[in-house]
Amino acid sequence: MSKAKALIIILSGADSPIKVRLGLTLAWRTKNSGAFEDVKLLFFGPSEDFIAKTDDKDILDAYDEVLKNNIMPQACVFIADGFGVSKALQEKKMELVHVGQRIAELMGEGYQPMMF
């Protein structure tokens, strides 16, 4: 029996930083644990502005763990441009993509969305 593939989508922002931290933590803790076959991480909407600007140490530490566990976070280029945070996200090693299209591709590859 094959394992599920996780698509973690973080939508929450400054109004709910605990959800951002939970999504990040789930991503890095399960990436190499064997819980899932694979883990992908997308930021969308308010989470893009939040992660670009936050100075919350716990969230930044969790984000660093994501990178250390070889997860390439992605964010919506349209939203990032709208918030004016494209450069800041790219400096955080985040790839800017067309998220709607990316979600459709990943779901077509069997990834199951989980939203935070």
List the CATH number of the domain containing 68.
3.40.1260.10
Q: What is the pTM of this model?
A: 0.94
Question: What is the model's pLDDT at position 111?
Answer: 98
Domain containing 85: what range? 5-115
Beta bridge partners of 43: 10, 75
Question: What is the model's pLDDT at position 63?
Answer: 98
Tens digit of each residue's pLDDT, the chain (116 residues): 578 999 999 999 999 999 999 999 999 999 989 899 999 999 999 999 999 999 999 999 999 999 999 999 999 999 999 999 999 999 999 999 999 999 999 999 999 999 99
Pair of tokens at residue 20? 């951002």
Question: What is the model's pLDDT at position 34?
Answer: 87
| Cα–Cα dist 107/5, whole Å | 9
Q: How many domains does the chain have?
A: 1
The closest alpha carbon to 65, from 31, 39, 35, 36, belongs to 31
Question: What is the model's pLDDT at position 1?
Answer: 59
Question: What is the model's pLDDT at position 62?
Answer: 97
Question: What is the model's pLDDT at position 2?
Answer: 74
